[in-house]
């Protein structure tokens, strides 16, 4: 698989097979990702890889919190308080597209709730990477973390794995820190649900669109 195939072929996976992911492959992915660029070589990433009983405990606690209405307390604000176009429309189309792929009507409240709660069980992925960053660092380190995540996504895809980047689990950072014993010095950014895709899972049929270059880029000179 070449770089262009990896970039264009990657997609978010929300349904996984029961096949486990070896520690060797997970380590190899991080061995590659560690070469991601970062400003003044900060390398701000801290990763906790969870599987097995630890993953089950984390999924249970996050699902219980979400289902029982525990107030969310994320370490940072991912989305704006007020949506404007064209972003509101893109968000709506993505959400409705996923519901349609899963056969859930917009008016099906129970179905939509089940679909949302699946986020907190990491879609039953066999492995999850939890991404942390020292909260003393500046905004540039957030750019570094984004590049690091992209490298993980592409490397995992090259290894035949599916990944779903999740900001939803960052709504309960204290639970995550408690389970994996990470100090509050580190803010929790997101999780990467990872495993071999279940190609029969309806959610995995979703393929979101992208703008043409002319819609977002201008050339000068």
Express each pLDDT in 161-194 by its tens digit: 999 999 999 999 999 999 999 999 999 999 999 9
Q: Where are the beta strands (DSSP E) in 24-87?
A: 45-51
Q: Tokens at residue 16, please? A: 């996984």
Cα(130)–Cα(214) distance, rounded to whole angstroms? Answer: 35
Alpha helices (H) along 39-119: 52-67, 87-101, 109-117
Structural domains present in the chain: 10-78+120-201 (3.40.109.10)
Residue 57 has pLDDT above 90, yes or no: yes
- Residue 171 has, within 13 A of its CA and on its CB side, a CA count of 20
Going by the DSSP 8-state scheme, the letter that residue 70 receives in this structure is P
User: Do 116 and 110 touch, CB atoms closer than 8 A?
Assistant: no
Mean pLDDT of 142-165: 97
- The total number of residues shown for the chain amounts to 221
Q: What is the pTM of this model?
A: 0.96
The lowest-confidence range among 1-5, 17-21, 126-130 is 1-5
- Name the band, by pLDDT with cuts 50, 70 and 90, for residue 46: very high
């Amino acid at each position: 698989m070449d770089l262009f195939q990896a970039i264009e072929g990657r997609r978010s996976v929300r349904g996984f097979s029961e096949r486990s992911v070896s520690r060797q492959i997970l380590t190899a992915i991080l061995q590659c990702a560690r070469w991601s660029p970062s400003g003044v070589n900060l390398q701000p990433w801290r990763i906790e890889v969870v599987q097995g009983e630890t993953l089950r405990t984390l999924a249970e606690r996050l699902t219980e919190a979400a289902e029982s209405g525990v107030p969310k307390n994320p370490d940072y604000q991912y989305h704006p308080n007020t949506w404007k176009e064209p972003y509101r429309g893109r968000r709506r189309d993505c959400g409705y597209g996923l519901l349609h792929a899963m056969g859930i009507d917009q008016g099906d409240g129970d179905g939509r709730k089940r679909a949302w709660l699946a986020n907190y069980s990491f879609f039953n992925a066999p492995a999850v990477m939890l991404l942390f960053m020292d909260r003393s660092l500046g905004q540039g380190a957030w750019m570094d973390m984004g590049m690091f995540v992209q490298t993980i996504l592409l490397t995992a895809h090259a290894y035949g794995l599916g990944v779903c980047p999740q900001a939803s689990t960052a709504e309960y950072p204290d639970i995550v820190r408690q389970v994996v014993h990470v100090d509050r010095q580190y803010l929790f950014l997101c999780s990467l649900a990872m495993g071999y895709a279940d190609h029969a899972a309806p959610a995995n049929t979703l393929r979101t669109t992208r703008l043409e270059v002319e819609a977002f880029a201008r050339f000068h000179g």
